[in-house]
Amino acid sequence: MNGAPRRVTVLGATGSVGRATLDLIAEAPPGHFEVVALVANGNATALAAAARRVRARLAVVADVAALPALREALEGSGIAVEAGPAAVVAAASIPVDWTMAAIVGAAGLPATMAAAGGGGIVSIANKECLVCAGPMLRAVAAAAGTTLLPADSEHNAIFQALDGTAPESVERIVLTASGGPFRNWPAERMRAIRPEDALNHPVWRMGAKVTIDSATMMNKGLEVIEAACLFPVPAERIEVLVHPEAAIHGIVQYVDGSMLAQMGPPDMRVPIAHTLAWPRRMTTATRRLDLATLRTITFELPDHKRFPALTLAREALAAGGAAPTILNAANEVAVRLFLEGRIGFLGIAALVAAALDRLGTPAAPDLEAVLEADATARRTALDLATGPAFA
């Protein structure tokens, strides 16, 4: 990388993706990056430490109650501090060259939309933004001349394998899934799954919500919806294969029969680095994939009966309107309730299905309608969860 430093903002700086992004920035040679703003929800201690480490100009917490602690932790540093939802959006609106959008869940939508309206590059690690408001996000980005890059490992893999290929040359794309910790569990055993079981992912190290989504395979369902927004391929040509070794992250098959697959270690720093340096490449210290020790690469079809979240996501994508938003919001509630021990593991997908059935497919013509559908779905899921069917 040459020239002036790339000015960056990290939304969700204290989460797993945000921390990985800041590790890459800190490890880069001096002068490569200039951190303008870091945003977090409420972990003032971690945010202050990160801001000092990368010499950020601004640190923002969404939780106003965390402002005194943030101000105290950064006293004398010269780093400006702000708090509140409006401050988060304002920070995302500051013109920069590159933004990491990694605020978990639909809560990241307003800030991501603001970043997309500012030009530059927005690296999207928050799949929920594309699930809930993908067409709107793309329209805002197009109007501002903003480049949207996928930071999810699977979508980044597809992006690399496509490499500007004409849409008519693509026959299908394949998103791979590790299968999670319960890939081989019989259905009857899955009724007794505890949160600590589901948080023990065999391959990836991620935040709690994403880890549970991987265990239910809802993450792959959300990724199918995301892929339909990101890539010029009809939904019926977006496929999912379980690939336990997690060495191949995405495959593009072309009309001539050839297939291009992107490979790498199961480390989010690899796709993040790709977007951070794009259109160039940057050196990283990540572990390399050793093909000599890999030995075996296997694939299998996902089991939709044991993992119904995949079917729910495809049905929501086909329904359109606010259905994907309802799917995502109900799932966020269901995952939280499972982690709190208030519903069972199989109750997660069941609760999402019940919320979709009750709410139908309302229209979602603008951001206000999307946010209203999100709020309604959360209330509905909480109301439904009191029933015995989800235990």
Has residue 274 been placed in a domain?
A: no
Whether residue 223 sits in one domain with residue 132:
no
Last residue of a domain, one of 127, 150, 173: 150
302 and 341 part of one domain: yes
Residue 170 lies in a domain: yes
Residue 357 lies in a domain: yes
Is the same domain home to 168 and 128? no
Query: Looking at the 3D structure of the chain, how many domains does it have?
Result: 2
Q: Are residues 100 and 216 in the same domain?
A: no
Contact status, residue 314 vs residue 33, Cβ threshold 8 Å: no
Cα–Cα distances in Å, from 112 out to 146, 217, 359? Answer: 12, 25, 26
In this structure, the answer to whether residues 65 and 184 fall within a common structural domain is no
What is the pTM (predicted TM-score) of this model? 0.91
| 14 and 100 inside one domain | yes
For the record, the structure tokens of 140 come out as 């805002």
Give the end-to-end CA distance of the chain in Å, rounded to a whole number: 53
Q: With beta carbons less than 8 A apart as the criterion, state whether 302 and 311 touch.
A: no
Question: Does any domain span residue 272?
Answer: no
Q: Is residue 283 included in any domain, yes or no?
A: no
Amino acid 347: pLDDT: 95
Q: Do 143 and 187 have their domain in common?
A: no
Reduce the DSSP state of residue 228 to 3 states and report it.
helix
Q: What's the CATH number where 224 sits?
A: 1.10.1740.10
Domain end, chosen from 150, 167, 191, is at 150
CATH of the domain at 108: 3.40.50.720
| SS3 label, residue 284 | coil
Q: What is the pLDDT of residues 236-291, one digit of tens each?
A: 999 999 999 999 999 999 999 999 999 999 899 999 999 999 999 999 999 999 99
22 contact partners, CB below 8 Å, separation of at least 6: 10, 13, 35, 38, 50, 53, 54
Q: Given 119, 150, 181, which residue is the final one in a domain?
A: 150
Residue 112 lies in a domain: yes
Question: Does residue 282 sit within a domain?
Answer: no
Assess whether 56 and 186 both reside in one domain: no
Range of the domain at 203: 155-266+288-390
pLDDT of residue 204: 66
Output the pLDDT for position 39.
98
Q: Which of 184, 215, 185 is nearest to 198 (CA)?
A: 215
Q: Is residue 275 part of a domain?
A: no
Asked whether residue 84 falls in the same domain as residue 207, the answer is no
Do 88 and 177 belong to one domain?
Answer: no
Range with lowest mean pLDDT among 25-34, 54-63, 150-159, 205-214: 205-214
Exposure b/e, 74-91, CB count within 10 A at least 16 = b: beeeebebbbeeebbbbb
Tell whether 92 and 220 lie within a shared domain.
no
Q: Per-residue pLDDT tens for 166-198?
A: 888 999 999 999 988 899 999 989 999 999 999
Does the pLDDT at position 201 exceed 80? no
pLDDT category at 205 given cuts 50, 70, 90 is: low
Same domain for 321 and 207, yes or no, is: yes
Confidence of residue 386 (pLDDT cuts 50, 70, 90): confident
